[in-house]
């Protein structure tokens, strides 16, 4: 929980000032996409330039507990997407962690 994570932010399509974090679908499951450092996030953006086009890509850093707040119900966590260090945490495990920490 003490580690910090980088989330890539996306603007809502309705042009409001609210920011959302990047999510992905993998093998039929939904995930919040997070990175274990700024260099990992930058590497992902370079690898997946097709996703972002010419748009400027931004991100923000959160601590572990705040990261859990960003995971919507039914979502897992995808760390370092598309990188050698990629790790998937399924939604059931995320739910168990939230229950254990009384953060749901």
The predicted-structure confidence for 11-26, as pLDDT tens digits, reads as follows 555 555 556 799 999 9
* Edge-first strand listing for the sheet containing 87-89: 23-26, 29-34, 76-79, 87-89
Q: What percent of the chain has pLDDT over 70?
A: 87
Mean pLDDT of all residues in 74-83: 95
* pTM of structure: 0.85
Q: Round the average pLDDT of the chain to a whole number and report it.
A: 86
Cα–Cα distance, 73 to 92 (Å, whole number): 10
């Amino acid at each position: 929980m003490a580690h910090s994570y980088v989330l890539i932010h996306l603007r809502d399509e309705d042009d409001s000032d609210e920011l959302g974090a990047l999510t992905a679908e993998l093998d039929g499951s939904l995930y919040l996409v997070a990175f274990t450092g700024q260099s990992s996030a930058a590497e992902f953006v370079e690898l997946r330039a097709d996703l972002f086009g010419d748009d400027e890509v931004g991100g923000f850093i959160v601590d572990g507990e705040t990261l859990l707040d960003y995971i919507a119900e039914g979502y897992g966590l995808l760390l370092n997407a598309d990188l050698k260090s990629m790790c998937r945490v399924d939604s059931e495990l995320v739910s168990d962690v939230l229950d254990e920490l009384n953060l749901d």
